[in-house]
């Protein structure tokens, strides 16, 4: 056992005990998380909080009060009132991490997500987006390495990362059903768009795809079913496989369903049942992925349970990082302690073999990022997830506490986690992470974070980072 690990392990254990102490102290603090029964005063337009506009507003204010423009009528009967807004998020992160292998890194990296939204009506829009400061997982900025002669890396580009049109068939062609008696309310989208299902476990990627959705399906004989949503998706390009690498020529077919249910007057739940098939190119493998989840409350406790399965039926015995067999069992539990607005949460997972997602963006990392900040990818630069987010025969837990104060403008998350491999003894690693966020003005967020991890066998590591976030 290394000296570094001997020093780090007590720190992590002490941090976990400190987290529990903080939870207990905050739980007993004064105040109340209950909504007041007293009605609030009506606020006129002059008394409403001032809007924070996007950087460009043409044709009308985003969420602004006043009359809706008259617009113009299309041949199908739809009335469009075009409005164009430009908005985005700029991120700049100074971050450094180190490990016993000496492969740590220090960097100052930047990311800009910029979008132009052409709002045509309440249900139709065209969205275009670019990321001009990064090319996949490579970011414009400075890499601080003594062996480098030029620290600056330029990955600027003008690639279009988002471009799609979405709408509702019944709203685009209202003249086909003026009395609204036919089932024409079918939502659709086509183009390059962010697709996320099963909270990113099944799919978390930007795809060139077309999707059709039917909402609000109800059946008189099924009184327990409040709402059924069915979505079909076909993607033909920009499909990044489970190894976060593009599979040029792959095709993806998916069917997603969501069930809002109520059983008696005591229990309700939202179920998701989703399946996807990837027809991969030669050497990348074909893949079937399915997932089922249930989201509900038990008294004051919020809970989510997920079961996912992947089957690499087309890899012909090859061991491929892009597609593999596996099962993943995941659960989340959280509650708001009495007299607070805070959140106490405990999440856990168990993986059998190597569950593979149908599609994962290069910045998304592995499927386990939802477990907590100790497992999540940062989405900028090379700063690692302290405990990793891949599923290979892994088990893991995260216990965290999220605190708010200063009128919710200050937020702190403290989390401890542990991960192991149930087929390899002495493979466990523990970590303690934190993230502090502070709002500055109406558009700026300062974020500070760090972690320390200690492995039973293997490498210990630690890291610290600061990030500036500007909402444009």
Nearest to 374 by CA among 468, 244, 243, 463: 463
Which residues does 455 contact at the CB level (< 8 Å), separation at least 6? 5, 428, 429
CA distances from 319 to 152, 353, 391 (A): 37, 12, 15
C-alpha angle 409-411-416 in degrees, rounded to nearest 5 = 175
244 DSSP 8-state letter? S
Which residues does 398 contact at the CB level (< 8 Å), separation at least 6? 345, 346, 347, 348, 371, 372, 374, 375, 415, 416, 417
Nearest to 420 by CA among 412, 429, 410: 429
> For position 71, what pLDDT does the model report?
85
117-175: pLDDT as tens digits: 999 998 999 999 999 999 999 999 999 887 777 889 999 999 999 999 999 998 888 88
Tell me the β-bridge partners of 294. Answer: 271, 305
Q: Which two tokens stand for residue 316?
A: 């012909």
Q: How many CB atoms lie within 10 A of CB 115?
A: 17
36 DSSP 8-state letter? P
> For position 235, what pLDDT does the model report?
97
Q: Which two tokens stand for residue 67?
A: 């009359």
> For position 318, what pLDDT does the model report?
65
Tell me the β-bridge partners of 413. Answer: 402, 435
> For position 34, what pLDDT does the model report?
66
> For position 314, what pLDDT does the model report?
65
Average pLDDT along the chain, 472 residues, taken 10 residues at a time: 40 47 46 71 78 90 80 86 95 92 86 96 95 94 83 94 94 82 88 96 96 91 90 96 93 96 86 96 91 94 96 72 91 93 96 94 93 94 92 94 94 96 87 96 96 87 96 94
11-45 burial: b if 16+ Cβ within 10 Å, else e: ebeebbeebeeebeebeeeeeeeeeeeeeeeeeee
């Amino acid at each position: 056992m290394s000296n570094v690990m001997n020093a780090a392990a007590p720190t992590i254990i002490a941090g976990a005990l400190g987290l529990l102490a903080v939870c207990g102290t905050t739980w007993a603090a004064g105040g109340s998380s209950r909504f007041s029964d007293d009605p609030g005063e009506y606020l006129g337009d002059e008394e409403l909080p001032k809007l924070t506009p996007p950087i460009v507003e043409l044709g009308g204010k985003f969420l602004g009060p006043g009359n809706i423009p008259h617009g113009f009528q299309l041949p199908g009967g739809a009335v469009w009132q075009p409005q164009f807004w430009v908005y985005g998020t700029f991120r700049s992160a100074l971050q450094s991490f180190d490990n016993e292998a000496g492969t740590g890194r220090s960097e100052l990296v930047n990311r800009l997500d910029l979008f132009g939204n052409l709002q045509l009506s309440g249900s139709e829009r065209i969205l275009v987006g670019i990321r001009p400061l990064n090319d996949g997982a490579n970011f414009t900025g400075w890499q601080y390495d003594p062996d480098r002669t030029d620290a600056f890396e330029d990955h600027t580009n003008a690639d279009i990362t988002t471009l799609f049109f979405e709408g509702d068939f019944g709203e685009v062609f209202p003249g086909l059903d003026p009395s609204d008696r036919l089932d024409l309310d079918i939502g659709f989208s086509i183009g390059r768009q962010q697709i996320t299902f099963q909270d990113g476990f099944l799919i978390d990627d930007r795809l060139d795809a077309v999707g059709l959705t039917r909402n609000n399906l109800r059946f008189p004989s099924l009184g327990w079913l409040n709402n059924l949503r069915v979505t079909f998706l076909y993607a033909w390009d920009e499909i990044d496989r489970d190894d976060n690498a593009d599979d040029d020529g792959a095709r993806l077919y998916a069917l997603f369903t969501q069930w809002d249910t109520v059983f008696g007057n005591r229990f309700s739940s939202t179920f998701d049942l989703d399946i996807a098939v990837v027809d991969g190119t030669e050497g990348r493998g074909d893949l079937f992925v399915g997932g089922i989840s249930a989201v509900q409350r038990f008294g004051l406790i919020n809970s989510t349970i997920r079961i996912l399965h992947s089957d690499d039926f087309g890899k012909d015995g090859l061991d491929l990082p892009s597609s593999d067999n596996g099962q993943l069992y995941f659960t989340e539990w959280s509650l708001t302690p009495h007299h607070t607005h805070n959140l106490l949460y405990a999440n856990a997972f168990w993986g059998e073999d190597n569950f593979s997602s149908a599609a994962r963006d290069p910045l998304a990392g592995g499927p386990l990022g939802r477990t907590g900040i100790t497992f999540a990818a940062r989405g900028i630069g090379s700063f690692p997830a302290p405990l990793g987010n891949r599923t290979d025969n892994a088990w893991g837990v995260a216990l965290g506490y999220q605190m708010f104060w200063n009128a919710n403008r200050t937020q702190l998350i403290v989390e401890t986690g542990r991960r192991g491999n149930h087929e390899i003894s002495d493979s466990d690693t523990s970590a303690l992470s934190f993230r502090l966020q502070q709002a500055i003005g109406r558009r700026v967020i300062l974020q500070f974070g760090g972690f320390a991890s200690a492995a039973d066998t293997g490498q210990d590591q630690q890291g610290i980072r600061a990030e500036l976030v500007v909402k444009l």
